[in-house]
Structure formats: structure tokens, C-alpha cells
């Protein structure tokens, strides 16, 4: 099944062809790449769900009855439903297409994201979505509460400093080792970078003007999840992390273009950039070499590990956030709370 074309702004008779093209281009340029990919996946899922559930394509605007059915179908565990249940039959069709993993109730965050995408498609077409209707709105709130569950960590364990040292010890002398050492150290020491931020770095985003004199390397992140274009944060690397980055740039002969690149089996540095999935494979590979389970941590463990280590070392949360670029103090505080509660004197009252 081919992904449907993105539902961008509809053709308006008031606009010329050039203006219509400019409006479509504005939507694409003004939306982060990860969000566009999420929109495409959600649109594919929603389209397939309605086709399986009602045998019809999406309507614009969509009816309140369809929106309510979507919420009800995704607010219960369908593995307990009868084989003739229409919601279960639709779910099984989605599983057969590889669009759904199981009959169990999806996470509230997944449902919220799909609803948000559906609303975004309506706004793109200058239409009002059905999810603002009182009954639909109330059902959505009840579905969220009924399916509430503790959020699963993005990484099974944080990659704290001791774990990071074990991973770095597996990086020896090949170009691939040099790249992985630099990637892991930059990803951790610069505040816990996301995969998209690591793969998006260009050689032009790295300044080494102060490296020889002060041992500093400066990074510019052109766009992150919590900052927009024009708000380019500058982050600093020092010590071993800066040295590892400079060594990789020299060994990989990175003069321009992508900073982190694939390395062939013959240890030749390629020109294209690493994919976000490659970061996952690198972490998985280094965990295995270090004698740890491959699922011990994910790339997000670099981010959670940085904040956890900052809390363990007593670094002020504001200082850690200046590097992690967390927008919410409450979000960053979770890592500090997990550490601080073990040091709370009240936990020793029984002796």
C-alpha cells in the first residue's frame, strides 16, 4: 500500500499557481522534517482505518460520528472483543497491513498524536475538525484517562559516565572507532543530543578557533526539537570530548558537509550523512562489545545519562539545562528527582 499524498493546502481559486506553490512550499519548509514524517505515517494509518472500518475514504471535513468511532476503537483492548466485533476486524486488517502491532489499547500519547495530525490536516485544508464537538471532546478526555499508564522510558537505562566509559573502551584505532568515540562523547558531553541533532550536524557547524589555545570546540545546532530556526544555540565541548571530535575530523578528512558519516567495511569514510537509525545501531553495537545487553540502552540514554550524571555530581539543574536545551524545568527535574530521592534522609527512617 503506497502512502497517500500529504494533505497540503487545497487549491484556492483566489491564488495564482505561483502563489499556491509558494503556500505549499511554506508549509513544507515551516514544518520540521520529523513532524512531516509523523504526519505521513498518521495519515496512512487514519486512511487505512476508515477504509477497514467503514469501507469509505476520508471525508473533509470528517464527521463527528467517525471521529467518535475512532476514539472508541482505540480506547479499549480489542483482544477481549468477539471475532465479529467491527472494531476488532478493522484492527486485524491494520495489523495485516503492518500499520498496527497488536489488538491491545494503544498508548494515550499515540492516540493524541494521531488526533493532532488529523486536526492539522483539517487546518491545512482551512476546515474545522470534528474533535472540538462536546461529545467527541469529552470522549477523548475519558479515553486518555482510562488508558493512562506510566510513561515508558525512551531508554531502558541512562548511559551514565561509568557506562559511557565502558562503551568508549571498545573504540580502538580504526576510522569507525574514531567516529564512534567522537559521536558518543559529543552526544553525551554537549548535553545529551538527540539522534536527529547528531545526524544534522555539519562540519560548518563546528568552530575550532579556540581549540589550540583553550582546548574548546564550539557547536551550532541550527534546529532542535525545542528551538526554532533563528534561535541557533551555541554549545561547547572541552577536554576529551573536544579532542575526540578534532581527531575524527582529521582522521575522516571532514572538510565540509556532514560531520558524522558512514564508514565502509574497508574503513573508508563515505560522503553521505549517517541516518538516525545508524545512531541506534552504533549504540547497540558498542553495548554488545562492552559485554552489556544490546537492549540495555538506546541513543536517548545519552541524553538521560547526561542529566542523571549531572544530578549525581550535584550540578545545578539550570546549568544542565543550558546544555540539554530542555524547555521545561519539570521535564528535566524528573532525572534529578530519581537521583535525589535515594539520598533523601526520610528513606532511612526504618534504619
Q: Does residue 296 or residue 11 have the better pLDDT? A: 296
Residue identified by cell 534522609 is: 345
CA distance 339 to 351: 20
Cα 174 to Cα 203, 250, 251, distances in angstroms: 20, 13, 9
**What mean pLDDT do residues 216-221 have?**
90
How far apart are the C-alpha atoms of 201 and 219, rounded to whole Å?
9
Nearest to 137 by CA among 123, 122, 119: 119
| Residue 218, number of CB atoms within 10 A of its CB | 16
Buried b (16+ CB within 10 A) or exposed e, 221-257: bbbbeeeeeeeebebbbeeebbbbbbebbebbebeee
pLDDT at site 20? 72
Q: Decide: 113 and 80 in contact? Cβ < 8 Å.
A: no
- Angle CA(44)–CA(50)–CA(51) in degrees, nearest 5? 85
Strand order across the beta sheet in which 234-238 lies: 206-207, 216-220, 234-238
Q: Is the dihedral of CA 88, 92, 98, 101 positive or negative?
A: positive
pLDDT in tens, 241-294: 999 999 999 999 999 999 999 999 998 999 999 998 999 999 999 999 999 998
In the chain, the percentage of residues whose pLDDT exceeds 90 is 51
SS3 235: strand
- Determine the distance from the C-alpha atom of residue 310 to the mean position of all C-alpha atoms in its chain, rounded to a whole number: 22
Percent of the chain with pLDDT over 70: 87
Could you tell me the pLDDT band of residue 4, with boundaries at 50, 70 and 90? very low
Q: pLDDT by residue (tens digit) across 167-189?
A: 999 999 899 999 999 999 999 99
Of 82, 84, 87, 41, nearest to 68 (Cα)? 87
What pLDDT is attached to residue 146? 77
Closest CA relative to residue 139, chosen from 50, 39, 65, 63 = 65
The residue-averaged pLDDT of 24-45 equals 83
> Mean pLDDT across the chain, nearest whole number?
86
Domain spans of the chain, in order of start:
17-146, 161-343
Q: Are 67 and 132 in contact (CB under 8 A)?
A: no
Q: Is there a contact between 335 and 311 (Cβ–Cβ < 8 Å)?
A: yes
Tell me the whole-structure pTM to 2 decimals. 0.65
Residue 47 confidence class, pLDDT cut points 50, 70, 90: very high
Maximum distance among all Cα pairs of the chain, rounded to whole angstroms: 77
Distances 277 to 3, 46, 266, 273, 298 between C-alpha atoms, Å: 21, 25, 21, 12, 11
Nearest Cα to Cα of residue 244 among 180, 164, 167, 161? 180
- C-alpha of 182 from chain center: 21
Residues linked to residue 217 through DSSP beta bridges, in sequence order: 237
Confidence of residue 56 (pLDDT cuts 50, 70, 90): very high
Q: Is the pLDDT of residue 19 over 90?
A: no
The CATH fold assigned to 17-146 is DNA polymerase; domain 1 (1.10.150)
- In CATH, the number for domain 161-343 is 1.10.443.10
* Tens of pLDDT, residues 331-350: 788 877 767 666 666 666 67
Bridge partner residues of 218 (DSSP):
207, 236
Task: Give the span between the Cα atoms of 27 and 121, in whole angstroms.
Answer: 11
10 Å Cβ neighbour count for 61?
14
Give me the pLDDT at residue 349, please: 67
pLDDT in tens, 66-92: 999 999 999 888 988 998 999 999 999
Amino acid at each position: 500500500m503506497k502512502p497517500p499524498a500529504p494533505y497540503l493546502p487545497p487549491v484556492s481559486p483566489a491564488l495564482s499557481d505561483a502563489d499556491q506553490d509558494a503556500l505549499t512550499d511554506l508549509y513544507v519548509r515551516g514544518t520540521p522534517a520529523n513532524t512531516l514524517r509523523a504526519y505521513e505515517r498518521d495519515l496512512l494509518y487514519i486512511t487505512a482505518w476508515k477504509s477497514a472500518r467503514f469501507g469509505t475514504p476520508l471525508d473533509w471535513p470528517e464527521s463527528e460520528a467517525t471521529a467518535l468511532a475512532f476514539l472508541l476503537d482505540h480506547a479499549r483492548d480489542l483482544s477481549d472483543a468477539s471475532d465479529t466485533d467491527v472494531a476488532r476486524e478493522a484492527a486485524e486488517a491494520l495489523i495485516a497491513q503492518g500499520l498496527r502491532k497488536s489488538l491491545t489499547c494503544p498508548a494515550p500519547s499515540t492516540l493524541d498524536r494521531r488526533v493532532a495530525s488529523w486536526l492539522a490536516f483539517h487546518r491545512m485544508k482551512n476546515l474545522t475538525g470534528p474533535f472540538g464537538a462536546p461529545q467527541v471532546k469529552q470522549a477523548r478526555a475519558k479515553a486518555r484517562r482510562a488508558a493512562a499508564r506510566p510513561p515508558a522510558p525512551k531508554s531502558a537505562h541512562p548511559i551514565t559516565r561509568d557506562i559511557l566509559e565502558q562503551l568508549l573502551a571498545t573504540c580502538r584505532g580504526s576510522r569507525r572507532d574514531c567516529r564512534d568515540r567522537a559521536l558518543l562523547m559529543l552526544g553525551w558531553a554537549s548535553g545529551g543530543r538527540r539522534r536527529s541533532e547528531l545526524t544534522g550536524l555539519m562540519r560548518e557547524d563546528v568552530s575550532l578557533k579556540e581549540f589550540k589555545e583553550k582546548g574548546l570546540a564550539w557547536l551550532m545546532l541550527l534546529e532542535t526539537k525545542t528551538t526554532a530556526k533563528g534561535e541557533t544555540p551555541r554549545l561547547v565541548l572541552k577536554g576529551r570530548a573536544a579532542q575526540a571530535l578534532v581527531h575524527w575530523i582529521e582522521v575522516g578528512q571532514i572538510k565540509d558537509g556532514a560531520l558524522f558519516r558512514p564508514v565502509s567495511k574497508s574503513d573508508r569514510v563515505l560522503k553521505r550523512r549517517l541516518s538516525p537509525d545508524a545512531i541506534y545501531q552504533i549504540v547497540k553495537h558498542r553495548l554488545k562489545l562492552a559485554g552489556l545487553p544490546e537492549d540495555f540502552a538506546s541513543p536517548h540514554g545519552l541524553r538521560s545519562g547526561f542529566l542523571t550524571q549531572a544530578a549525581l555530581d550535584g550540578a545545578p539543574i539550570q546549568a544542565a539545562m543550558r546544555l540539554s536545551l530542555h524547555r521545561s524545568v519539570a521535564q528535566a527535574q524528573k532525572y534529578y528527582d530519581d537521583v535525589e530521592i535515594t539520598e533523601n534522609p526520610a528513606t532511612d527512617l526504618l534504619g
